[in-house]
C-alpha cells in the first residue's frame, strides 16, 4: 500500500472538483502564483541574478549584500546592479550582469533629475507598470504586496481554523453547560466592533504583521466555531460514534479519528472564502492607513495612491485589475469546492 487509500466519497469529490473547469484552473493558477511569489526575488528584484566579473560568477539574489568594491567600484554600500550593467557594457571587457525581468525592488525610489514621479509604464527602463508617486516600481510593490497579503491570509486562516475548530468541536462534543457558556461568550465577543478596535490599536501603536494578525485572530475564529459546533453535534449523535464509545474509545480518539475527518468538508469549503476575506480586510485596512506600517508594499497602500493620483492611471488600474483577478479566481475555487462537496450531490437514499 503505497498511496493513502482515499475513500470513494472523497475521490468522487475531488473528481467533481476537477470537472468544474474554471474552479480547477483557477486553483492551479493561484497555486502557481503563490508558489512563484515565494521566489519573487528571482523575478522582481534590484539585485542581479548572475554577475560575471573577472572570470568569476556571483549570485547576489539571496544571501548578504555584496558591496560595490566586490566589482571594482569605489563604494562600500550595496552594489547598484543596474548601473553596473551599464558600466560593464560600456567597458566591453567580457564582464556581464544578468538582471531579473523587473530590475527593481519594492522599496527603492528610482528618481531621475528633472522628472517627477509617478512615471508611466516604460519597457525601456524596466518599469513595466510604471512608478508610484515616490518613484517606486508599481510591479514590484504589486508582487511583494501580493505575497504579503496571501501569506497573511493563509497564516490567519490556519490560526483561525485551529482555534475555531477546537472550540467548536469541543462545544458540539461536550455540549451541555460548556456549550451554553461558550455560546454566550461568543455572542458577546462577536458584538465587539472589530474595526473600532483596530483603529484604536493602530492609533496607539503602529501595528506590524504579527500584531495585526493577532487583532484579526482575536475576532476571526468565531465564524468557524459556529459551523463546527453544528457539524459536531450532528456527527456525534450518529451511530458510528456510539459504536466507538461502546468499544471504549476515549473522547480525543473519537474527535480526531471520527468527527474531524467527517467534518473536514465543511472546513475545506470555507477555506477559499476565508482567504479572499483575509486579503480584502488587509487591503482595506491598508487603504485606510490602519494596516501594515508605511514602507511595506501593500495593495491597500497602492490603491490609496492610485485613487489620489487619478491622472496616473497605471497605478490604480494595475492594482484594481490584480485585485479583481485574485478575488474572482478565489471565488471560482470556492464555488467549485462548494459544488464538489455539496452533500446533496452524493447522498444516496436507499
Residues that bind other proteins (CB under 8 A): 1, 5, 7-10, 180, 238-240, 242-249, 253, 258, 261-262, 350
Residue 51 CB, nearest approach to other proteins (Å): 54
**Contacts with 188 (C-beta within 8 Å, 6 or more apart), sequence order:** none
Residue 240 CB, nearest approach to other proteins (Å): 4
Q: Which is nearer to other proteins, 113 or 350 (CB)?
A: 350
Cβ pair 330, 275 in contact under 8 A: yes
Residue 246 CB, nearest approach to other proteins (Å): 5
Q: For the chain, first and last CA: distance in Å?
A: 32
Cβ burial of 1 (10 Å; 0-12, 13-18, 19+) is exposed
Strand partners, 131: 137
Residue 267 CB, nearest approach to other proteins (Å): 14
Q: Which is nearer to other proteins, 244 or 288 (CB)?
A: 244
Strand partners, 102: 44
Q: Which is nearer to other proteins, 32 or 185 (CB)?
A: 185
**Contacts with 212 (C-beta within 8 Å, 6 or more apart), sequence order:** 152, 198, 282, 285, 291, 292
CA-to-CA separations, 49 to 6, 42, 81, 302, 347, in angstroms, rounded: 43, 7, 10, 27, 54
Q: Return the number of other C-beta atoms located less than 10 Å from residue 66's C-beta.
A: 18
Q: Which is nearer to other proteins, 6 or 324 (CB)?
A: 6
Residue 337 CB, nearest approach to other proteins (Å): 18
Residue 171 CB, nearest approach to other proteins (Å): 16
Residue 182 CB, nearest approach to other proteins (Å): 15
Q: Which is nearer to other proteins, 9 or 321 (CB)?
A: 9
Q: Which is nearer to other proteins, 5 or 63 (CB)?
A: 5
- Report H helices in the chain: 8-19, 21-38, 81-91, 138-174, 176-190, 194-204, 209-220, 222-236, 239-246, 251-253, 260-288, 299-308, 313-341, 343-346
Q: Return the number of other C-beta atoms located less than 10 Å from residue 188's C-beta.
A: 9
* Dihedral (Cα; 48, 54, 58, 64), 10-degree rounding: -90
Grid coordinates in use for 153? 491570509
Q: Which is nearer to other proteins, 193 or 261 (CB)?
A: 261
Residue 169 CB, nearest approach to other proteins (Å): 16
Q: Which is nearer to other proteins, 205 or 348 (CB)?
A: 348
Amino acid at each position: 500500500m503505497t498511496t493513502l487509500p482515499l475513500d470513494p466519497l472523497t475521490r468522487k469529490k475531488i473528481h467533481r472538483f476537477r470537472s468544474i473547469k474554471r474552479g480547477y484552473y483557477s486553483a492551479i493558477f493561484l497555486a502557481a502564483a503563490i508558489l512563484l511569489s515565494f521566489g519573487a526575488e528571482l523575478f522582481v528584484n534590484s539585485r542581479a541574478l548572475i554577475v560575471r566579473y573577472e572570470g568569476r560568477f556571483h549570485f547576489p539574489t539571496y544571501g548578504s549584500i555584496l558591496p560595490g568594491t566586490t566589482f571594482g567600484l569605489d563604494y562600500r554600500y550595496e552594489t547598484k546592479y543596474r548601473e553596473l550593467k551599464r558600466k560593464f557594457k560600456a567597458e566591453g571587457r567580457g564582464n556581464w550582469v544578468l538582471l531579473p525581468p523587473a530590475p527593481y525592488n519594492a522599496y527603492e525610489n528610482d528618481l531621475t533629475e528633472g522628472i517627477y514621479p509617478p512615471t508611466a509604464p516604460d519597457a525601456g527602463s524596466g518599469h513595466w507598470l510604471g512608478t508610484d508617486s515616490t518613484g517606486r516600481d508599481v510591479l514590484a510593490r504589486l508582487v511583494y504586496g501580493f505575497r504579503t497579503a496571501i501569506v497573511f491570509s493563509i497564516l490567519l486562516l490556519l490560526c483561525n481554523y485551529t482555534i475555531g475548530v477546537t472550540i467548536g468541536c469541543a462545544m458540539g462534543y461536550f455540549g451541555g453547560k460548556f456549550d451554553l457558556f461558550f455560546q454566550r461568550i461568543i455572542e458577546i465577543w462577536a458584538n465587539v466592533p472589530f474595526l473600532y478596535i483596530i483603529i484604536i490599536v493602530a492609533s496607539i501603536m503602529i501595528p506590524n504583521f504579527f500584531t495585526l494578525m493577532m487583532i484579526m485572530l482575536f475576532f476571526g475564529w468565531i465564524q468557524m466555531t459556529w459551523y463546527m459546533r453544528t457539524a459536531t453535534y450532528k456527527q456525534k449523535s450518529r451511530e458510528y460514534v456510539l459504536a466507538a464509545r461502546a468499544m471504549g474509545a476515549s473522547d480525543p480518539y473519537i474527535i480526531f479519528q471520527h468527527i474531524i475527518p467527517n467534518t473536514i468538508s465543511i472546513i475545506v469549503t470555507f477555506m477559499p472564502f476565508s482567504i479572499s476575506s483575509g486579503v480584502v480586510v488587509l487591503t482595506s485596512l491598508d487603504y485606510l492607513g490602519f494596516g501594515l506600517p508605511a514602507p511595506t508594499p501593500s495593495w491597500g497602500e497602492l490603491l490609496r495612491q492610485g485613487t489620489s493620483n487619478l491622472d496616473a492611471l497605471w497605478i490604480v488600474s494595475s492594482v484594481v485589475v490584480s485585485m479583481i483577478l485574485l478575488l474572482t479566481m478565489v471565488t471560482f475555487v470556492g464555488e467549485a469546492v462548494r459544488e464538489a462537496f455539496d452533500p446533496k450531490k452524493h447522498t444516496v437514499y436507499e
